[in-house]
Every structure is written in C-alpha cells, then in structure tokens.
Amino acid sequence: MKIIAILNQKGGVGKTTLATNIATKLHLNKSRVLLIDSDPQGSARDWHAAGSSDIAVVGMDRPTLEKDISKIADKFDWVIVDGAPQLTDMAISAVKCADLIIIPVQPSPYDIWASEDLVDIIKHRQQLTDGNPKSYFCISRKITNTSLSKEIVEALQGYSLPVMKSYTSQRIIYAKSAAEGQTVFDTNNNEEIQEITNVVNEIKEII
C-alpha cells in the first residue's frame, strides 16, 4: 500500500482536482484506491456525493492521519490524501504518513511563496527519516505557449525539491467535470486524459 499526499497550504491550487483524477485513473487501472478528504470543507466528499464514482472516499480532518490510516487502509493498494489548506497540523500529519508528497503549484509567484512553510515541514521530516517522504512539485493549470511556466520551474529549483515532468493545463474541463462529480475520464477530452495519465505514470516511476 502506497500513500500519496497532495498538499499545499494555499487554497485554490488544484489539490482536489488532482487528487480525484489521480484516484480515478488508478481505479480504472484495477487498483484498490482509497481517497481521503482531510479538508474540513469536504471538497472531495462533495465531489463524490455529486457523482457516481465507486471509489472509496472518507473524511479524516483531524491531525492524526498517521494513526487513522493504518487502521483502515490495509486492504487498499493506493491511498490518496487530498490535503487541507492553511492547517499546519494536518500538513505535518500527512507528511508523517506519506510515501510521496505532491505539491501542486500554479504558474504564479504567489503559489511559490506560499509553498515555503510546507517545504520546511517536508525537509525537517526528511532529515529525520533518511530523505523520506519523496516530495515533488507538480505544475497545476499550466498556461500553454507562455514562458511563465518555464520561469516558475526555474524559481521552484530554489527550494531544492524536484519538479515533476508531468503537469495539468489550464483547461475548463477540469472544473466542469469536477462540478458534476466526474473527472476527465468521463469525457472525450484526450489531451486532459493524457495529462493525468502522464502524472500517474510518473508517480509509479517515482515510487
């Protein structure tokens, strides 16, 4: 069983969109997947209620993830944690139990600045655990045909965490499908499907 935590203490960076789409792709690949909504606002639970996905989704919005996951997750191949914004205790708890941290960041300097505290938490944990958990930035809502995304990648290098080669683009279908309790895999949008497929394939390579 592998635990992937999708974290960023800044809201609106695409954590839930990434979490639900990653979980769906893994589920379509015949893996047993548990999606944990650690945000008290319950965005992933709202997504699940609005749609018809048979992915297991539970809410755990207390800073005891490392204890609680072990009690329920042994029958799953993958656990995806949709992180809560602004809650440092929740971030620390997720970092403690994760095999891989994905930090989605939009091509914006504000997202980079907002990542600093989380990166400090991760690096402190890595110092205690021989470099674990593995941690990567993932560009979210990349704007195609601009130099801004390249500049963001260069700026992120200052945090000494790698940046995933895969990314998601600024496409309306991500928001539209989420509002209907769906993912890009419920659409015929091949470019978006390929983006998430690339992310999942890279995750498997990393882990």
Q: Quick one: average pLDDT of 38-42?
A: 92
Q: What local confidence, expressed as pLDDT, does residue 126 receive?
A: 96
Q: Contact 183/19 with Cβ under 8 angstroms? A: no
Say yes or no to pLDDT of 27 above 70.
yes
Separation of alpha carbons 111 and 147, rounded Å: 17
pLDDT tens per residue across span 144-202: 766 666 677 778 878 889 999 999 999 999 999 999 999 999 999 999 999 999 999 99
Per-residue pLDDT reduced to its tens digit, 78-111:
999 999 887 789 999 999 999 999 999 988 878 8
**Residue 12's pLDDT is what?**
84
Give the Cα separation of 121 and 127 in Å (integer): 10
* pLDDT tens digits, one per residue of 52-74: 999 999 999 899 998 999 889 88
Cβ burial of 158 (10 Å; 0-12, 13-18, 19+) is: exposed
- Please, what are the domains in the chain? 2-206 (3.40.50.300)
